[in-house]
């Protein structure tokens, strides 16, 4: 695998730091590495693979001689800098929502639609974390029999809201244990010992932005414009890894046993479905690794050709950083950079 020049925009954030770890774990063929961030983080020193790097302030001139740019910043910043990087020859892999629904930008989960990377015009979008987890879990089932409808409930860890989400949960638990008043800053309500069915702004249709991502992104990634999705997203007092309850309705019946056989060797999946031994997907088991655990597979008795399951995955790794690095691997393997 040839070596390439790699940049990370947002290198000091949670996802950017995870990208560095994943690049090292995968022994990604990095020739030169450039770490970029805001002026606030510029000058920080980062050790990677035995070498020390200085984080640079991102400017419009930061992308010369760059083959791949991994973007781990918010929508507005990506919207500004990603096209500039692409115009200078870099292939941008963007973790924000800025370009996901752009018809000219592939939206890729490598286990599901790897061939879509070929159609890039300089930018490839990383899907939303919950979408990545769900579609990795059901991909082999969809290949066996096309999914017509999905009902999804997500139970999303506080780290999905960044470092502030983690700190808020931990601080609130400490305050409650000490009999102190709880401070609320990151979430709309107290998250400790609570569930909040609200992630992202609400639309007039009553769904949140996070809930609509599953529907819109799922249609694009699966190349299925007729896919129907109903999604409810809930923030839960868990530190890391998102869990999902999924019901799928398929064109033809898939029995639970057939589903287990399909998932046993599915890419990116670990089958954890042994009720006799109380084995099923849980956040603690899936944190700090890249597989999507799938279990609790059972027939949905309320509809024909319908199957229910649970899945769980680390939203910082497979739901963000690892998925982006996997896309980069596809680019190198297929000589697209």
Residues involved in catalysis: 129, 242
Judge whether 87 and 62 are in contact, CB under 8 Å. Answer: no
In sequence order, the 6+-apart residues with CB closer than 8 A to the CB of 201 are 208, 209
SS3 45: strand
Q: Which of 213, 234, 212 has the alpha carbon at shortest distance from 132?
A: 213
Spell 210-235 as b/e; 16+ CB within 10 A means b: bbbbbbbbbbbbbeeeebebebbbeb
Residues in the chain: 337
CA distance 8 to 185: 29
| Residue 22, CA distances (Å) to 4, 292, 335 in order | 16, 16, 21
Q: Which of 215, 234, 31, 230 has the alpha carbon at shortest distance from 135?
A: 215
Neighbours of 137 (CB within 10 A): 27
* Structure tokens belonging to residue 335: 């000589």
């Amino acid at each position: 695998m040839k070596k390439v020049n790699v940049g990370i925009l947002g290198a000091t954030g949670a996802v950017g730091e995870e990208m560095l770890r994943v690049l090292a774990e995968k022994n990604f063929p990095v020739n030169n590495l450039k770490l970029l961030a805001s002026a606030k983080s510029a000058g920080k020193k980062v050790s990677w693979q035995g070498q020390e790097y200085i984080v640079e302030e991102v400017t419009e001139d930061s992308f010369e001689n760059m083959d791949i740019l991994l973007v781990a910043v918010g929508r507005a910043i990506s919207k500004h800098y990603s096209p500039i990087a692409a115009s200078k020859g870099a292939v941008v892999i963007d973790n924000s929502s800025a370009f996901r629904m752009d018809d000219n930008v592939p939206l890729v989960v490598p286990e599901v639609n790897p061939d879509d990377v070929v159609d890039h015009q300089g930018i490839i979008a990383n899907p939303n974390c919950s979408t990545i987890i769900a579609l990795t879990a059901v991909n082999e089932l969809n290949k066996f029999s096309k999914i017509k409808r999905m009902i999804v409930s997500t139970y999303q860890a506080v780290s999905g809201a960044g470092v502030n989400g983690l700190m808020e949960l931990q601080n609130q638990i400490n305050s409650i244990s000490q009999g102190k008043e709880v401070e609320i800053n990151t979430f709309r309500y107290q998250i400790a010992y609570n569930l909040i069915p609200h992630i992202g702004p609400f639309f007039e249709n009553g769904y949140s932005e996070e809930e609509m991502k599953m529907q819109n992104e799922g249609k694009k990634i699966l190349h299925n414009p007729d896919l129907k999705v109903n999604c409810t997203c809930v923030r839960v007092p868990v530190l890391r890894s998102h869990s999902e309850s999924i019901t799928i309705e398929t064109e033809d019946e898939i029995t639970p046993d057939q589903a287990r056989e399909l998932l046993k060797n599915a890419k990116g999946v670990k089958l954890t479905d042994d009720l006799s031994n109380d084995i099923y997907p849980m956040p603690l088991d899936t944190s700090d690794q890249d597989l999507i655990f799938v279990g609790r597979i059972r027939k949905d008795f309320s509809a024909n050709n319908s199957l229910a399951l649970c899945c769980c995955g680390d939203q910082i790794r497979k739901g963000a950083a690892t998925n982006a690095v996997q896309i980069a691997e596809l680019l190198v393997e297929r000589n697209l950079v």
